[in-house]
Chains A and B, each alone.
Chain A
Amino acid sequence: MNKIIDKWLNRMEEYRFLFSQLVKRDFSKKYKNTSLGMVWSVLSPLLTLLIMKIVFTNFFGRDAEYYTTYLFSGNLVMAYYKEATKNGMSSLRTNAKIIEKINLPKYLFLLSKNISALVNFVLTLVVYFIFCVFDGITFGPWMLLLLYPIACLTIMNIGIGMILSALYVFFKDIKYLYDVFLTLLTYLSAIFYYVDRFDARYRDLFLLNPVYVMIKYFRTIVIDMKIPSLQYHGLCLFYALFFFAIGGHMYKKYNKKFIYYL
């Protein structure tokens, strides 16, 4: 066991500089040529939020308590999930030229994309809390528990990113199929509607959607000021580890096969 940890630490040390360079590259590429830079990446989810708020409160007469926070919670988590997995998907393909020539651990490219998505998420999270203040949300130490779904979501994003990037090497049209899937997922994640309008029998079906599970955790903590049950924590962790295990397995299995397809 110690040996394995030692090996990992050595590897981390070996690739730390490369990893920091990759993160730097992804960042500078993302914010280059935009005069607003990072502000823009926070602004765009805010605009989405604004539109949703206007549409659903004015046209559909939805005016429940803390509706802004309800919407924002959904958007926040969904936007992070989307960005991390979509960018992660292309991580092997866009670095094909490098992979063909230099023998590097391939997950580095994916992790670096995930880091920049995470930073983006944290920025949006700050804005989220500002909105919470305006919406009259009570703050307290229980908010620290939000770190738990964030950690689970990040692990899950990496896992799904691994699965998608591996598939994307083999099948080029995954990109379009995944876009369609994301639209479907957005509607299934109860971002702008309330699940309790559904019959109790169907409500639990929503728990099959991992993104919804994370969103609900956020809402339970922030809006309901309640701590989810232990089983619920278990469910979050299960999704995170489940996807991570599949992704990790795929990377291990196809590690040396990618090169034939790139």
Chain B
Amino acid sequence: MSIIKCDNVSVKYMTGDFKAIGLKEYVVRHLTHNYKVKEFYADRNISFTLEKGDMLGIIGTNGAGKSTLLKAITGIMEPATGKVHTKGRIAAFLELASGFDPEMTIKDNTYLRGAMLGFTKKYIDERYYDIIKFAELEKFEDYTFKQLSSGMKSRLAFAIASQTQPDIIILDEVLSVGDGAFRKKSGEKMKEILASNVTGILVSHSVKQVREMCNKILWIDHGNQIAFTDEKDLYLDAYEEFLECKKLPESRADIEQMAVAHSIKVRAKEDAAMQKESEKLEKILNEGERESAIRAAIAILDNKCPEALNKKYIKEMGL
């Protein structure tokens, strides 16, 4: 039983100068046949299926249609053709901090946002204190939203959103927010949510993050689906190669070739880094003082032949 099923989904978008004009201008332009609206497909024929517990990573360069696809999945936009089936409650973490009311207090904003996310009154009453505590805003409850710093705003937004118990979670570049300590805390909270057998979609520009968290990959480019696959390492390697050479793969062979090319590059890079490090250490070994030379020697051994080191002895020596 699939949780999310996208069936040949195409999403249209409109561009043109229609946004800024008023009724008078609209009428005039129609009369002079000067009214132009361009429609284009932000996504074309995207198909994928996710089962319970799957985590999909959507990759693609800027303007590939990732965020538009998310909007179609959450139901904010309607696909021009095709169908999206979802099962269960969706929690979407998109541009968290916007949409609050600047004039209202933290408390009122928390309740309002909670209501929009589909919480019941009882649920928020129970969780309200946790939210404020998590956001570290205990002293600011009666401040209006606009008086908060931007860090506080995103902390509050994250704290509220993370109270959801969704069946489907959708993340657009928001795995963690805030600075230092809070970043760690929010990252952990996110992992906690993701560990609870939800089905998720992650859009991220960090390939490393996608590699760590996702088990399936959807690669879109300029609205076209390049791949939907569960061979994530192969495709992510190919994608990283694509980011450098800017050439789209056309066949399975291309993908494999690109993945190999990428891993060769990675290995070469690693080797180069190792080489550089060794050179540096050797230089210290040859020219440095007695103490630093010993340290360098130990570091070289640690790199190249760690089993030769007597770790306990080194520790006792205080090196």
| CB atoms of B98 and A21 under 8 A apart | no
Known A103-B76, A256-B78; judge A21-B115 contact (CB<8 A): yes
| A173 CB contacts on chain B under 8 angstroms | 22-25
Which residue of A18, A24, A28, A177 contacts B116 across the interface (Cβ within 8 Å)? A18
- Per the 8 Å Cβ criterion, residues 153-170 of A in contact with B are 167, 170
Q: Is B317 an interface residue (CB 8 A)?
A: no
Q: Is B99 an interface residue (CB 8 A)?
A: yes
| B101 CB contacts on chain A under 8 angstroms | 25, 29
| CB atoms of B118 and A14 under 8 A apart | yes
Q: Is A260 an interface residue (CB 8 A)?
A: yes
Looking at the assembled complex, report how far the CB atom of A1 sits from the nearest CB atom of chain B, in whole angstroms.
Answer: 26
A97–B74 Cα gap in the complex (Å)?
A: 15
| CB atoms of B99 and A98 under 8 A apart | yes
Q: Is B195 an interface residue (CB 8 A)?
A: no
Q: Is A188 an interface residue (CB 8 A)?
A: no
A261–B26 Cα gap in the complex (Å)?
A: 14
| B interface majority secondary structure | loop
Looking at the assembled complex, report how far the CB atom of A226 sits from the nearest CB atom of chain B, in whole angstroms.
Answer: 42
Looking at the assembled complex, report how far the CB atom of B16 sits from the nearest CB atom of chain A, in whole angstroms.
Answer: 10
| A18 CB contacts on chain B under 8 angstroms | 115-116, 118
| A3 CB contacts on chain B under 8 angstroms | none
Q: Is B120 an interface residue (CB 8 A)?
A: yes
Which residue of A97, A167, A259 contacts B76 across the interface (Cβ within 8 Å)? A259
| CB atoms of B108 and A28 under 8 A apart | yes
Closest to B121 in A: A17
Q: Is A201 an interface residue (CB 8 A)?
A: no
A155–B108 Cα gap in the complex (Å)?
A: 29
Looking at the assembled complex, report how far the CB atom of B74 sits from the nearest CB atom of chain A, in whole angstroms.
Answer: 6
Which residue of B13, B26, B115 contacts A17 across the interface (Cβ within 8 Å)? B115
Closest to B39 in A: A260
| CB atoms of B98 and A25 under 8 A apart | no
| CB atoms of B19 and A261 under 8 A apart | yes
| CB atoms of A171 and B26 under 8 A apart | yes
Known A172-B22, A173-B23; judge A101-B104 contact (CB<8 A): no
Q: Is B288 an interface residue (CB 8 A)?
A: no
| CB atoms of B99 and A103 under 8 A apart | no
| CB atoms of A174 and B22 under 8 A apart | yes
A54–B26 Cα gap in the complex (Å)?
A: 44
Which residue of B21, B23, B76, B92 contacts A177 across the interface (Cβ within 8 Å)? B23
Question: What is the number of contacts between chain A and chain B, taking CB atoms within 8 Å?
Answer: 73
| CB atoms of A172 and B20 under 8 A apart | yes
| CB atoms of B22 and A100 under 8 A apart | no
| B74 CB contacts on chain A under 8 angstroms | 102-103
Closest to B76 in A: A103
| CB atoms of B92 and A102 under 8 A apart | yes
| CB atoms of B75 and A103 under 8 A apart | yes
Known A14-B118, A18-B116, A25-B112; judge A101-B95 contact (CB<8 A): yes
Which residue of B14, B22, B99, B118 contacts A101 across the interface (Cβ within 8 Å)? B99
Closest to B20 in A: A172
| B95 CB contacts on chain A under 8 angstroms | 101
| CB atoms of B18 and A100 under 8 A apart | no
Q: Is B128 an interface residue (CB 8 A)?
A: no
Looking at the assembled complex, report how far the CB atom of A190 sits from the nearest CB atom of chain B, in whole angstroms.
Answer: 29
A256–B11 Cα gap in the complex (Å)?
A: 12
- Per the 8 Å Cβ criterion, residues 219-253 of B in contact with A are none
Q: Is B214 an interface residue (CB 8 A)?
A: no
Q: Is B77 an interface residue (CB 8 A)?
A: yes
Looking at the assembled complex, report how far the CB atom of A32 sits from the nearest CB atom of chain B, in whole angstroms.
Answer: 7
| CB atoms of B111 and A21 under 8 A apart | yes
| B254 CB contacts on chain A under 8 angstroms | none
Known A21-B111, A28-B104; judge A100-B20 contact (CB<8 A): no
Closest to B25 in A: A173
Closest to A104 in B: B116
Looking at the assembled complex, report how far the CB atom of B32 sits from the nearest CB atom of chain A, in whole angstroms.
Answer: 17
| B119 CB contacts on chain A under 8 angstroms | 17
Interface residues of B (CB under 8 A from A): 13-14, 18-26, 71, 74-78, 92, 94-95, 98-99, 101, 103-104, 108, 111-112, 115-121
Q: List 23 A-B contacts (CB under 8 A).
A: A17-B120, A17-B121, A18-B116, A21-B112, A25-B101, A29-B103, A32-B103, A97-B99, A100-B76, A100-B99, A101-B95, A101-B99, A102-B76, A102-B92, A102-B99, A102-B116, A103-B76, A170-B26, A171-B22, A173-B22, A174-B23, A256-B78, A260-B14
Give 18 A-B pairs besides A25-B104, A103-B74, A173-B22 with Cβ atoms closer than 8 angstroms: A14-B118, A17-B121, A18-B115, A28-B104, A29-B101, A98-B99, A98-B116, A101-B92, A101-B98, A101-B99, A102-B92, A102-B99, A103-B75, A171-B22, A172-B22, A173-B23, A173-B24, A259-B76
Q: 7 shortest A-B CB distances, which residue pairs? A: A173-B22, A256-B78, A18-B115, A171-B23, A97-B99, A103-B75, A21-B115
